[in-house]
Structure 1
Amino acid sequence: MDVDDYIGGGSGGGGEALIGMKTVEAPDDGSNCLICLDGGGGGGEKTTTEAWVETPCAHRFHSRCLESWAQVKLGTCPMCRRELTAAAAAATTTAGEDVHVLVADPMVADPLLARWNLFVQRSTDGSRSMSSLVRVLAVSHVLPDEVAAGGAWPPPPPHVVELSFLDNLQVSKAAIQRLFFYDGGSLPPFESVVRSLQSSLAAVLAVFLPLAGKLAYLPEPGDVVIDYSPDAVSPGVKFVEAEYSGSVDDMRRLASDDEHHTEAFLQLVPELEVSMLPAPLLAVQVTRPRDDHAGGGGGAVAVGVAIHHGVADGQSVWQFIKAWAAAARGGSPAGQGLVKLSRVAADVIKGQRTRTFLLRADQIRSLKRRISRRIAAGEPPRETASPVTAYVAIASLVWTSVVRAKPHDAADEAYLMVTADCRRRLRPPIDPGYFGNCVAACYARANVGTLRRGGGDNGGDDEGLARAAAAIGAAIREQLEDPLGGDIEGWLQFHLSLPAARLTAVGSSHRFMAYETDLGWGAPSRVELVSPFARELVMLLGAAGGGVQVSVSLDEAHMDAFETSWFQTAAGDVTV
């Protein structure tokens, strides 16, 4: 085959055409795609029908994932950064090889995100003409106060924020979508709710001005950046007013059911149109029930917020939400002026259930005591264990419950990935008000059989909990010693080597006091993350009275067994 057959139609880096990649069989050795971290599955079990390609440097990816990377990173290999250009192809072409030609267009955002957006569109817009749960009433756009008032605008240049290394790791993920339910007699009429949210959003955008901008591609220096120039900000932030097809009581049931109504939740949060660059960074949706036209006097409302993950992690999202809530109550969204964002795709998930549990403060204290007592008894050895924090205790309960719910061999190893905030660990330290992504992944490892031991608080053996706590504490301690150290390629290879079926991820934090988000009419009755970042994911949030909300997404086949283990180990009624 001629070298010309390897040439794609797009541009890579310095204007050269990207080469094509050899098409290869899906791996059957348990390895995953090096970009989306999915693919071959664990234990030789193929979990996807995606087409696979191999680069001249012998790295394998899903073809659409590599196409996605090329569009944003401009023609370099994700693993070794080798340029995927015609010059590289000339040295590696072998006659007769089957070739899949990639076309890279740097003005198109991640196709993986486009696929996620298509899923959301099919779940919402595509169904609204027939069986939609939500009807759009109006779409407007909110400008920052300073823009609308014509005051101190435009801000001085530069109007660009470069993405950090940690931000770039999140660019290809779906937007962070948070959903807040409010009800009760203090809720004003819907029109007043809308006016309050719009005016307070305008106020907070004057402080978080870059969020009113766009994620954009700059040909020079060839990077994707946050653009908050006057032209980028002038369209405003999309604000959707909508109506839920159910009654006030129906909306309250959505907020109170422990089993998530995934379709309804997806339609109650705004879509973030990120399939093309420039892409918006923020959108808001407020939804009333069908029979609540007048509002007030015991009505209900849902407020959905979507923020691009490429510019914010969980801590930053709550920093913004907290400031917005302060503005909505008539206060100041911030005391330091403009927040400086300085820097140091998903397919439909089928067969998954999501449920929310509540751990009371006394149950958390009991877990900590039981784990500490077991460690004090010398199993695991005290010198290998860290002090048992609330987070470690909750993560231990989650991990042991997941492991007990699955039919793994007792001799296997299980893994737990947790995220640790690095803001106070970097040297030199960063500003406490830093807005962006600043978390590190920590991996705990323990034997399946050991994690299954014990359960219950009435004289039961809590060795499984204690072993889990020791492993989690050690993983966090090791990672935070040098949060940004190490080799990114080595980290990716390690993550990809883990068997997906035995890896559980815990995100968010019990320190995020979501139920303090008072937008002027009291605390929300329910707060949830809507974006499905992974097939198996556990999210934490702070709850009232020192409790912690735990939302669990798990394969349907394992949820009942998880609940049984959860209740037995927590030794109490912890469901919402």
Structure 2
Amino acid sequence: MPPAVRARRATAISLPTGGVTDAPGRRVVSLSPFDVYWAALPPIRRVFLFAPPSPPVPFTDVAGALRSSLAAVLPAFHPFAGELVYDPESRAVAIACGEGAGVAFVEAETEMDFARLVEEGAEHDVDALQQLVPDIRREELPAPVMAAQVTEFIGGVGGIAVGVTLHHTAADGRGLWRFLEMWAAAAVAVPMAGEPASPLHFRRLVSFEGDEELARVFLRQVAPDLPRTVPKQDPSPGSQKQLSRRTFTLSSSVIQRLKQQLAAAAGTATAPSMFVAVVAHGWVSIARASGFTNGAPVFAAFLADIRAHMSPRVPDAYVGNCLAVCAVAMAGEELTGPDGPARACLAIREAVAEVRRDPLADRARWFSKFADIPRGRAVIMAGSPWFPAYGVDFGFGRPVRAELASMNYDGEMVLVAGREAGSVQASVALAADKMPAFRELFVVDT
């Protein structure tokens, strides 16, 4: 076990007296089917590691700046200060933002080896990463929606970690990154470029015919024992320790070469998008590293942002979940064969095109589509190569490492934009015996 993180101070950052709403008198945010899908799944746990500020800044000043800037942006993201609650009469879950709503803010210290945590390509110390983010999980509702933690690395080279935990019912990845960008902008008191629109939380912006009934169906599927919400997909401690976790960065030149190779192999004049190219490359690499060479299917599952494809179109400023579940499958012998990369590219490209044509076509199957995938025969893609993980600057420089603290599946890959322009960072969790082969397949020389 790594040295423990010790809390120095725990406080709450509260909403202004009287609460903040996006509709007159509204203090309860009703949830859409897109949100309740995540009611019993683990929260999003992001951690950012920063080199010591230069010139040095006292940790109390760092923590104070983070506290005050979080307080400044929290009213615009008021559901994050609420609690996920259960109403037994309506058998529904919602986010309540009443009097006293706020976000827990923890100031901590640790003697962990900062240099080891940020080493490129090194085996992740999952226990260490998880100690750097607050834990908001509860076995029974109500449960907090968000918490934040700032940790000082004492001794050694020093360093600072900023950890954020958010219940997925409050926002999808796009909503979370919008919050992080606004928090960072407030910390350095620099207006965001283009004066972006105020964040929107009103769930009717993603309404569609039959949405209330679909929300009830999803809730029965994901959390049948409400108010208990023990995560159904949260792995046991034993199974998680069998996973190896590493982070790889594909440079801009490697991405361009992958796109050109896939386009040529698929016989198409148009190169695939960055997302399609990286997902196809990851899918094939994991399948080959796993020895999936028989006729049994190998799955790739990912989420598609459908704001631009809903009718009416959902505003870009919408923070809540607006994601469709996509899943494609291919026989292992095809995926790992010589034509595997081209076939994977075409399959993923078609899945993306299909969800754009009709984003709600198979909405009733979103839960079963994912739940029915056999574990160990799937690649689970999360995140996006456009999420600006290394643009989050709270006033003491860009992060030297940004990670998702919890990855739950053998075959999970989390994507964010890399530190260098045009690059993509891929954090990968695999059974330990597969990782060496995967690394040889996935890492492409420039």
Q: After TM superposition, is the score higher than 0.5?
A: yes
> Larger RCO: Structure 1 or Structure 2 (Cα < 8 Å, ≥ 6 residues apart)?
2
Identify which range, 348-357 or 215-224, moves more after superposition. 215-224
TM-score, structure 1 length as denominator? Answer: 0.67
- Per-residue Cα deviation, 1:231-270 (whole angstroms, up to 9, x for no partner): 4x1xx21111111123xxx213212242211110010111
After TM superposition, give the deviation of residue 158 of structure 1 in Å.
1.6
What's 2:390 paired with? Answer: 515
After TM superposition, give the deviation of residue 212 of structure 1 in Å.
1.0
> Is this contact kept in 2: 1:357–1:549, CA < 8 A?
yes
What's 2:8 paired with? Answer: 137
> Is this contact kept in 2: 1:187–1:299, CA < 8 A?
no
Is the counterpart of residue 309 in structure 1 residue 168 in structure 2? yes
Query: Which among 42, 52, 55 is matched to residue 174 of structure 1?
Result: 42
What's 2:227 paired with? Answer: none
What code does the residue aligned with 1:217 have? Y
Structural mapping, 1:195-210, within 5 Å: 195-210=64-79
> Is this contact kept in 2: 1:135–1:245, CA < 8 A?
no
User: Which of the pair has more CA radius of gyration?
Assistant: 1
Taking a change above 3 Å as real, the CA distance of residues 288 and 565 of structure 1, as seen in their structure-2 partners, is: same
Taking a change above 3 Å as real, the CA distance of residues 275 and 178 of structure 1, as seen in their structure-2 partners, is: same
- Per-residue Cα deviation, 1:11-64 (whole angstroms, up to 9, x for no partner): xxxxxxxxxxxxxxxxxxxxxxxxxxxxxxxxxxxxxxxxxxxxxxxxxxxxxx
Q: Give the Cα separation in 1 of the matches to 2:116 and 2:321.
A: 34
Q: Give the Cα separation in 1 of the matches to 2:384 and 2:277.
A: 13
Taking a change above 3 Å as real, the CA distance of residues 524 and 465 of structure 1, as seen in their structure-2 partners, is: same
What's 2:219 paired with? Answer: none
Q: Give the Cα separation in 2 of the matches to 1:504 and 1:418.
A: 9
What's 1:342 paired with? Answer: 203
Structural mapping, 1:219-230, within 5 Å: 219-230=88-99
Structural mapping, 1:92-491, within 5 Å: 132-144=3-15, 146-147=16-17, 156-184=24-52, 185-186=54-55, 188-231=57-100, 233=101, 236-246=102-112, 250-258=113-121, 259-291=123-155, 299-331=158-190, 336-337=197-198, 339-343=200-204, 344=206, 345=231, 346=234, 347-348=236-237, 349-376=240-267, 382=268, 387-454=271-338, 463-486=339-362, 488=364, 490-491=365-366
Residue 239 of structure 1: SS of its match in structure 2?
A: strand
After TM superposition, give the deviation of residue 468 of structure 1 in Å.
1.0
Taking a change above 3 Å as real, the CA distance of residues 372 and 225 of structure 1, as seen in their structure-2 partners, is: same
Q: Give the Cα separation in 1 of the matches to 2:387 and 2:333.
A: 33
Residue 51 of structure 2: SS of its match in structure 1?
A: strand
After TM superposition, give the deviation of residue 501 of structure 1 in Å.
2.4
- Per-residue Cα deviation, 1:475-522 (whole angstroms, up to 9, x for no partner): 12122322122252x444444443322211111000101100011111
Residue 256 of structure 1: SS of its match in structure 2?
A: coil
After TM superposition, give the deviation of residue 156 of structure 1 in Å.
4.0
CA RMSD of aligned residues (A): 2.4
Gaps of 5+ in 2: 207-230
Task: Report the number of matched residues.
Answer: 411
Taking a change above 3 Å as real, the CA distance of residues 514 and 158 of structure 1, as seen in their structure-2 partners, is: same
Query: Which among 432, 438, 441 is matched to residue 556 of structure 1?
Result: 432
What code does the residue aligned with 1:519 have? F
Residue 505 of structure 1: SS of its match in structure 2?
A: strand
Taking a change above 3 Å as real, the CA distance of residues 453 and 155 of structure 1, as seen in their structure-2 partners, is: closer
Taking a change above 3 Å as real, the CA distance of residues 564 and 283 of structure 1, as seen in their structure-2 partners, is: same
> Is this contact kept in 2: 1:154–1:230, CA < 8 A?
no
Residue 286 of structure 1: SS of its match in structure 2?
A: strand
> Is this contact kept in 2: 1:172–1:310, CA < 8 A?
no
What code does the residue aligned with 2:258 have? L
What's 1:545 paired with? Answer: 421
Is the counterpart of residue 571 in structure 1 residue 445 in structure 2? yes
Q: Give the Cα separation in 1 of the matches to 2:408 and 2:170.
A: 16
> Is this contact kept in 2: 1:209–1:338, CA < 8 A?
no
After TM superposition, give the deviation of residue 352 of structure 1 in Å.
0.3
> Is this contact kept in 2: 1:174–1:533, CA < 8 A?
no
> Is this contact kept in 2: 1:511–1:542, CA < 8 A?
yes
What's 1:79 paired with? Answer: none
Q: Give the Cα separation in 2 of the matches to 1:279 and 1:181.
A: 27
Identify which range, 347-356 or 492-501, moves more after superposition. 492-501
After TM superposition, give the deviation of residue 314 of structure 1 in Å.
1.0
> Is this contact kept in 1: 2:380–2:412, CA < 8 A?
yes
> Is this contact kept in 2: 1:416–1:505, CA < 8 A?
yes
> Is this contact kept in 1: 2:19–2:98, CA < 8 A?
no
After TM superposition, give the deviation of residue 451 of structure 1 in Å.
2.4
TM-score, structure 2 length as denominator? Answer: 0.86
Q: Give the Cα separation in 2 of the matches to 1:215 and 1:464.
A: 44
Residue 356 of structure 1: SS of its match in structure 2?
A: strand
Residue 362 of structure 1: SS of its match in structure 2?
A: helix
Residue 453 of structure 1: SS of its match in structure 2?
A: coil
Q: Give the Cα separation in 1 of the matches to 2:337 and 2:303.
A: 26
Taking a change above 3 Å as real, the CA distance of residues 332 and 171 of structure 1, as seen in their structure-2 partners, is: farther
What's 1:535 paired with? Answer: 410
Gaps of 5+ in 1: 1-126, 293-297, 377-381, 455-462
Residue 333 of structure 2: SS of its match in structure 1?
A: helix
What code does the residue aligned with 1:359 have? L
> Is this contact kept in 2: 1:178–1:529, CA < 8 A?
yes
Residue 499 of structure 1: SS of its match in structure 2?
A: coil
Taking a change above 3 Å as real, the CA distance of residues 487 and 153 of structure 1, as seen in their structure-2 partners, is: closer
Taking a change above 3 Å as real, the CA distance of residues 487 and 517 of structure 1, as seen in their structure-2 partners, is: closer
Taking a change above 3 Å as real, the CA distance of residues 451 and 186 of structure 1, as seen in their structure-2 partners, is: farther
